[in-house]
């Protein structure tokens, strides 16, 4: 009997020590949102804290968030984020690690429209495109490329900082560490900065504004940091992942060993008296966690409820809004005006931002009809679709709040830390929304959690 009591005491002691040890080094982490940002947090936490218990809660039935592939007439087409810059170190390294094959753009011709008229067209022949570009815009592209190269060089310093374990509590702190100039760019509208660089008015208002419309659906009044990110996204060496960029978040979640809960939205975060968090889906309890990562946009149209906090961790200011973008995928034949035009971008506010011929990222059957992706500020009417297409055999609409409204001087960018052990990954997208920005923010939050666990 004494032996049994002694053995139970030993087991209880070991269990207690194990839990104490776990409290320091193996926290329970709840991640709300299964996009590339949320999946990256899980992945980087697994690298830094391999024994941590991580749960990902995704309200839809798929991982990937704004990265998605739609099946149309037997083939898969990219509907969300579709480009990766060769200097995006995390995206490039992860694609290589997971054995994901790159897929280069087809290099098809570009047309720019203004008030419904075509004002500039490139050619499938490079020499003709060069001649046309020099004739209309002179050497402005060269000047822009030099400016953006300097921007990318400064931005790339973040990778060395994170390799050394440096953490940031705010986006402003992160940008200033890269270079004070980058933080300063968030304070001025893009058009003014381009004018200071000596770029011509027609190049700014036609080519650059077309770039900001196709990337962010907004004009040159956006702040200069996000404008620079958009301009970098116009490089010729961009690529995507064969069979869809959504494979990156899927592989990140798989490699992280996290427990994924699909079709499970979180509606409430309750802070308990011991500092932990209880998550709810409606009235259903989802579990108690030591750390919570919000990897979703916090928008007033779909508020997350916070209870048990001494003060609200997020106040949903009216000035902080998300921009509506509608992606319409159409399989069919265009009318004569749009025939033989692969990529059309409006350089002024219009009922469409861009019309692009897209190719399957998953090719399973021969394409029966060409497929086009149209970005617009609101759903297209039947009349508008008829003005583009003479035949439509499939129409699919994706309507979402894609990225913030980037005013010239944005409202205060939210902190990465909203409250002790409550983190906001999407804070970074108020500087710029992009896949690589989400990966950088995911790494920063994983480092912050590991730092709290005294593991770095």
Nearest 10 degrees: Cα torsion 329, 332, 337, 340: 90
Q: Give the CATH number, domain containing residue 214.
A: 3.90.660
Q: Compare 36 and 243 and report the one with higher pLDDT.
A: 36
Q: Mean of the pLDDT values across residues 419-430?
A: 96
Domain-located, residue 9: no
Query: Residue 4: what pLDDT?
Result: 40
CA 442, 445, 449, 454 torsion-angle sign: positive
Among the listed ranges 103-117, 123-137, 181-195, which one has the minimum average pLDDT value?
Answer: 103-117
Residues 224 and 355 in one domain: yes
Q: Mean of the pLDDT values across residues 379-386?
A: 97
Q: What is the pLDDT of residues 57-72, one digit of tens each?
A: 999 998 888 778 889 9
Q: What is the pLDDT of residues 144-199, one digit of tens each?
A: 999 999 999 999 999 999 999 999 999 999 999 999 999 999 999 999 999 999 99
Using the structure block, give the residue that is written with the tokens 């280069």. Answer: 104
* Residue 134: domain span: 69-167+200-243+321-404
Whether 30 contacts 277, CB under 8 Å: yes
Q: Compare 7 and 454 and report the one with higher pLDDT.
A: 454
What is the end-to-end Cα distance of the chain in Å, rounded?
46
Using the structure block, give the residue that is written with the tokens 């030591």. Answer: 290
Residues 266 and 352 in one domain: no
Q: Structure pTM?
A: 0.90
C-alpha span between 338 and 353 (Å, rounded)? 15
Residues 234 and 276 in one domain: no
Query: Residue 456: what pLDDT?
Result: 61
Residues 325 and 216 in one domain: yes
Q: Is the pLDDT of residue 341 over 60?
A: yes
Q: Compare 400 and 2 and report the one with higher pLDDT.
A: 400
CA 391, 396, 401, 406 torsion-angle sign: negative
**208: which residues sit within 8 A by CB, 6+ positions away?**
144, 190, 194, 199, 220, 227, 231
Residues 75 and 121 in one domain: yes
C-alpha span between 69 and 75 (Å, rounded)? 9
17 pLDDT band, cuts 50/70/90, is very low
The pLDDT mean for the chain works out to 89
Distance of CA 151 to CAs 30, 138, 140, 322, 434, Å?
35, 22, 17, 25, 16
C-alpha span between 264 and 340 (Å, rounded)? 44
C-alpha span between 438 and 297 (Å, rounded)? 12
Domain-located, residue 172: no
Domain-located, residue 15: no
Residues 432 and 308 in one domain: yes
Domain count for the chain, please give it: 2
Whether 129 contacts 123, CB under 8 Å: yes
Whether 361 contacts 244, CB under 8 Å: yes
Distance of CA 309 to CAs 31, 224, 275, 314, 419, Å?
19, 36, 10, 11, 9
Residues 33 and 110 in one domain: no
Q: Which helix (H) or strand (E) holds 117?
A: strand 117-121
Domain-located, residue 373: yes
Whether 408 contacts 191, CB under 8 Å: no
C-alpha span between 343 and 79 (Å, rounded)? 15
Q: Compare 56 and 23 and report the one with higher pLDDT.
A: 56
Query: Residue 316: what pLDDT?
Result: 79
Whether 187 contacts 406, CB under 8 Å: no
Q: Give the CATH number, domain containing residue 425.
A: 3.50.50.60
Query: Residue 23: what pLDDT?
Result: 42
Residues 86 and 157 in one domain: yes
Residues 335 and 440 in one domain: no
DSSP 3-state of 68: coil
């Amino acid at each position: 009997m004494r032996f049994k009591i002694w053995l139970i005491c030993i087991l209880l002691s070991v269990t207690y020590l194990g839990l104490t040890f776990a409290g320091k080094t193996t926290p329970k982490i709840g991640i709300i949102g299964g996009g590339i940002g949320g999946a990256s947090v899980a992945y980087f936490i697994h690298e830094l804290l391999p024994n941590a218990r991580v749960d990902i809660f995704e309200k839809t039935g798929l991982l990937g968030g704004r990265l998605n592939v739609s099946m149309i007439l037997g083939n898969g087409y990219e509907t969300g984020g579709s480009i990766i810059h060769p200097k995006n170190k995390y995206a490039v390294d992860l694609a290589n690690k997971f054995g994901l094959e790159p897929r280069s753009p087809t290099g098809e011709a570009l047309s720019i429209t203004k008030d419904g008229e075509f004002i500039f067209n490139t050619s499938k022949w490079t020499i003709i495109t060069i001649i046309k570009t020099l004739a209309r815009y002179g050497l402005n592209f060269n000047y822009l490329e030099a400016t953006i190269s300097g921007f990318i060089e400064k931005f790339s310093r973040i990778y060395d900082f994170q390799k050394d374990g440096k953490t940031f509590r705010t986006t402003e702190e992160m940008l200033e560490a890269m270079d004070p100039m980058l933080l300063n760019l968030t304070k001025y509208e893009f058009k003014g900065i381009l004018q200071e660089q000596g770029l011509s008015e027609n190049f700014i208002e036609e080519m650059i504004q077309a770039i900001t419309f196709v990337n962010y659906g907004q004009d040159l009044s956006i702040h200069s940091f996000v404008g620079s990110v958009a301009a970098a996204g116009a490089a010729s060496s961009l690529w995507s992942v064969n069979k869809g960029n959504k494979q990156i978040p899927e592989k990140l979640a798989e490699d992280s060993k996290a427990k994924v809960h699909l079709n499970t939205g979180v509606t409430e975060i309750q802070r308990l008296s011991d500092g932990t968090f209880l998550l709810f889906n409606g009235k259903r309890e989802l579990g108690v966690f030591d750390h919570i990562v919000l990897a979703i946009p916090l928008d007033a149209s779909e508020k997350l409820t916070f209870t048990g906090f001494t003060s609200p961790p997020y106040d949903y200011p009216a000035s902080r809004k998300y921009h509506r973008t509608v992606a319409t995928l159409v399989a069919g034949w265009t009318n004569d005006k749009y025939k033989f035009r692969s990529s059309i971008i409006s350089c002024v506010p219009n009922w469409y931002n861009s019309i692009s011929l897209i190719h399957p990222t998953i090719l399973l059957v021969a394409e029966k009809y060409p497929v086009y992706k149209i970005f617009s500020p609101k759903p297209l009417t039947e009349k508008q679709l008829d003005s583009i297409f003479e035949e439509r055999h499939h129409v699919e609409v994706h309507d979402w709040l894609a990225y913030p409204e980037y005013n010239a001087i944005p409202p205060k960018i939210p902190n990465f830390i909203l409250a002790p052990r409550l983190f906001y990954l999407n804070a970074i997208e108020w500087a710029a929304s992009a896949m690589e920005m989400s990966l950088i923010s995911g790494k920063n939050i994983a480092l912050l959690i590991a730092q709290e666990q005294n593991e770095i």
